Amino acid sequence: MASRIASGLLRRRAGATLGLLRSYTHVRNYSSQLSALIPATSQCSKLTRRYYLPNASPYQVWSRSFASDNGDKVEAVVPFMGESVTDGTLATFLKKPGDRVEADEPIAQIETDKVTIDVASPEAGVIEKFIASEGDTVTPGTKVAVISKSAQPAETHVAPSEEATPKESSPPKVEEKPKVEEKAPKVEPPKMQAPKPTAPSKTSPSEPQLPPKERERRVPMPRLRKRIANRLKDSQNTFAMLTTFNEVDMTNLMKLRSDYKDEFVSKHGVKLGLMSCFVKAAVSALQNQPIVNAVIDGDDIIYRDYVDVSVAVGTSKGLVVPVIRDADTMNFADIEKGINNLAKKATEGALSIDDMAGGTFTISNGGVYGSLISTPIINPPQSAILGMHSIVQRPVVVNGDILARPMMYLALTYDHRLIDGREAVFFLRRIKDVVEDPRRLLLDI
Catalytic residues: 416, 420
Q: For CA atoms 81, 83, 84, 87, give the dihedral sign.
A: positive
Residue 441 burial (C-beta neighbours within 10 Å; 0-12, 13-18, 19+): middle
Separation of alpha carbons 225 and 209, rounded Å: 32
Intra-chain end-to-end CA distance of the chain, in Å: 126
Q: How far apart are CA 90 and CA 95, in angstroms?
A: 13
Cα 323 to Cα 330: distance, rounded to the nearest angstrom: 13
- The CA-atom distances, in angstroms, between 37 and each of 34, 40, 65, 172 are 5, 9, 15, 67
